Amino acid sequence: MKDRLFIGISFFFLLLLSNLSESIEVIERKNGCVTVRVTEDDVKNQRYNLNIIDSDGKNLRTIFSSRYYIPSFPWWIDDNRIVFSWIKEKKGFSLGIIDINNGNLEELVTKDSIITDVIPSPDGKRIAFICSNNLFLFNLNDINLKRLINLKDNFKDGHMVTNLTWCPDGKRLVFVVRSFETVPSKDNIWLFDINKNRIEQLTLGNNTLCKDGNSPLSFSPEGNKVVFSNKRERSCMLIVNIDNKEIEGLRFTKISSSITDPIFMPDGKKIIFSGVKKGGRTRNIWEANLERKDSRQLTFFEEENNGLIGISPSPDGKRVVFSEITHGGRNLWVMNADGNGLRKLGESFSNDPSYLYTTYMTPAWSKDGSKIAFVTQHEVKPKKEINRGGYLGIVVQDLTEALARQFDVKNGKGIFILEVRRGSPAEKAGLRRGDIIKKINRKEIHSVTEFQKEVRRKTAGESIVLLVIREGQKMSISATLEEMP
């Protein structure tokens, strides 16, 4: 008899889940891996995995697997439990905690809208997340869900909130508000004080932050400074003091291309980031010394890549892990903080050309630094179906009944945009997370598979016209496809 996970710890949960006809159904529990029941239609060849690997590159294993999108990065609550969000089959979106030792999955929250920017507090007792432009806080001690603010009350339409991050004191949260009124977008950093229930803007200007997806911002160890980079200042990173809102600029003459994903090291004296050396074309990891105001290159990749993302120092600051995006796939690397001892964690995640393997792979260290968690998307397609041309740059899912009701889509047909890749043709065209695509080149779209086939029939340089529903309004958006990265 198949196992079922029932969440009935409190009356609160009974009310929260009362609209669900059934709970999560587990069809397989093997070697600590939980596989959730899924349909066999358009997603039969797709798999989203939550993985962990020992920091020495051994014992790679999948602890959660689903054929539906995992929209948040995994975060460790302690050395044995990871919190993340996932999409349930035809039943909305869930937030939960999984035990890496026995695969037990505890579902905390179920919503009709996508749950993103999931991040635990520094003490691991609370979880903050964003859903439907609302900022929520879940308290693990008393099993209590509280809405902190309705972001729609503070920001007008055409804005998106992302990159949610806890201040080290556990009393404040910072996040990025992205305005799509211009291309590229204008991004600014805001702060919310939980105790004072007050929101305030930290940066003011035409910033375009270089952050990967919903990855958090980086705080200094003392908790009073946030570092970020700006595409408009290609060789500069900025540090904002959250107490007095003063901004300090650090410019590096050795860097020619946009600095991305700057991260404070645990000692607060150095910042590591991704950048391209003047005269070069390949991204590498760099270190900025805040005392000397200079930089030095830590890695020396020679083969041109599409980026280095998810840069993350270990809790003790002695090692750094990051993901490399290449034309053939993605690799997970770890090295000593000084750049020595660089090694790949496991084999490349896409060696077989018969696989179209798109991975998010933003890694997260366990509290003791012995393990690393990351999410991958694995889609198996026959070679003949892989189009090396037309690339749009969006992550999508079929429009579920819950989403159709939420966005008042009458016929319930279409696909829902979960994520728009930064710098992609989709972002340049003005597509946004939350848009619903109804037609492509006047042809109705009923599933993700149909949409992918239509896009793959095109080649780089060709244009497509999409009929999109945004906030109840229909609009036509034209996008020019690029080569598949």
pLDDT above 70 for 249: yes
The C-alpha atoms of residue 445 and residue 368 are separated, in whole angstroms, by 47
Give pLDDT, residue 485. Answer: 63
Same domain flag for 462 and 444: yes
Number of H helices, E strands in the chain: 4, 38
Same domain flag for 35 and 68: yes
Same domain flag for 361 and 463: no
What backbone torsions phi and psi does residue 13 show, to the nearest 5 degrees? -65, -35
State yes or no: cis peptide before 353, omega within 30 of 0. no
Same domain flag for 364 and 450: no
Can you give the residue range of the structural domain that contains 374?
1-148+349-386
pLDDT, mean of residues 161-182: 84
Amino acid letter, 421: R
Please give the tally of structural domains in the chain: 2
Same domain flag for 439 and 366: no
What pTM was estimated for this model as a whole?
0.70
pLDDT above 50 for 422: yes
Same domain flag for 361 and 397: no
Same domain flag for 395 and 457: yes
Q: Is residue 78 in a domain?
A: yes
The residue that leads in pLDDT, 485 or 64, is 64
Token pair, residue 220, equals 């200094």
pLDDT, mean of residues 252-274: 86
Instruction: Give the highest mean pLDDT range of 123-132, 233-242, 360-369.
Output: 123-132
> Given 366, 386, 406, which residue is the final one in a domain?
386
Sign of the dihedral through C-alpha 131, 478, 458, 329:
negative
Same domain flag for 360 and 462: no
Q: Is residue 398 in a domain?
A: yes
Same domain flag for 87 and 26: yes
The C-alpha atoms of residue 464 and residue 480 are separated, in whole angstroms, by 6
Same domain flag for 365 and 456: no
CA distances from 335 to 196, 261, 291, 302, 320 (A): 41, 17, 23, 17, 5
Same domain flag for 363 and 441: no
pLDDT, mean of residues 211-221: 70
- Kindly tell me the burial class for residue 182, based on how many C-beta atoms sit within 10 Å of its own C-beta (0-12, 13-18, 19 or more): exposed
Same domain flag for 426 and 436: yes
